[in-house]
Structure 1
Amino acid sequence: MNKALGLIEALGLTTAVTALDAASKAADVTLVGFEKIIGVGKSVGVNIQIAGEVAAVQAAVDAAVTAGNRVGVIFSSHVIPRPHDEVDALISKFAKNVKNKVNKKETKKVAKQENKEENKK
């Protein structure tokens, strides 16, 4: 892989969304995954995984840490430049998790909308 993987671990969803927003605006990176983690700082944390060119990921992670710390707490961040090919399998798993989560939410939203329409009849 000629790209980099950036990892940002934030305390709480608001901090994570703020960090991701700043990262996305700072450089050309792609969200490849996110995970809720129970126990970070004795609370619920969110781990964000982004990918892109090495310099872009480094800039995005730096911007995310700065923005996230203004709103809440960023526990850790790390950039892995040009990760080993075996890490690609992990990145693919992250990407599938994001797609599955988005698809589930969209399916629920459509079902909810259909229920509202049926109840109006």
Structure 2
Amino acid sequence: MKAALGLIEAIGLTTAITALDAASKAADIKLVGYEKVIGAGKAVSVTIQIAGDVAAVKASVDAGVAAANKIGQVLSYHVIPRPHEEVDLLIKAFEKNLKSKDQKSLEGMEENKKNKDKKTKKEEE
């Protein structure tokens, strides 16, 4: 891979989403994954994993960290420029996990909608 991998680990989902929003607006990057860890820094941390060109990832991580620090706490962040091919395998695993998480989330939203529709229909009767 000739791209870079950027990581931002933040305390709480709100802080992580703020970091991702700022990172995405700062440069052309792609979210390749995220991980939630319970117990990091005696709290719940969320690590976002982004990829793209080296300069774009560096700019995105800087912007994401700055924005996240305004509303919460960033535990750590790092950019790995042109990672080794073994790390590339890890990035592909992140992407696969992200797609799986997205699919499960979509299925959950569809199930919730069906349940709401059933409840509404019963209330109307």
* Bigger radius of gyration among the two: 2
Matched, 1:50 2:50: yes
Report SS of the residue matched to 2:83: coil
Gaps of 5+ in 2: none
Taking structure 1 as the reference length, the TM-score comes to 0.96
Letter in 1 for 2:89: A
Q: Number of matched residues?
A: 121
TM-score by length of 2: 0.93
- Partners of 2:26 and 2:9 in 1: CA distance: 18
Tell me the CA shift for residue 105 of structure 1. Answer: 1.0
* 2:20 aligned with 1:26: no
Aligned mates of 2:12, 2:29 — CA distance in 1: 22
Match of residue 77 from structure 1: 77
- Give percent identity, aligned residues only: 62
Displacement over 6 Å in runs of 4+: none
5+ unaligned residues in a row in structure 1: which ranges? none
Aligned-pair CA distance for 1:59: 0.1
Code of the aligned partner of 1:11: I
Q: Take 1:73 and 1:116, find their aligned partners in 2: how far apart are those partners?
A: 37
Name the stretch that deviates more: 14-23 or 33-42.
Answer: 33-42
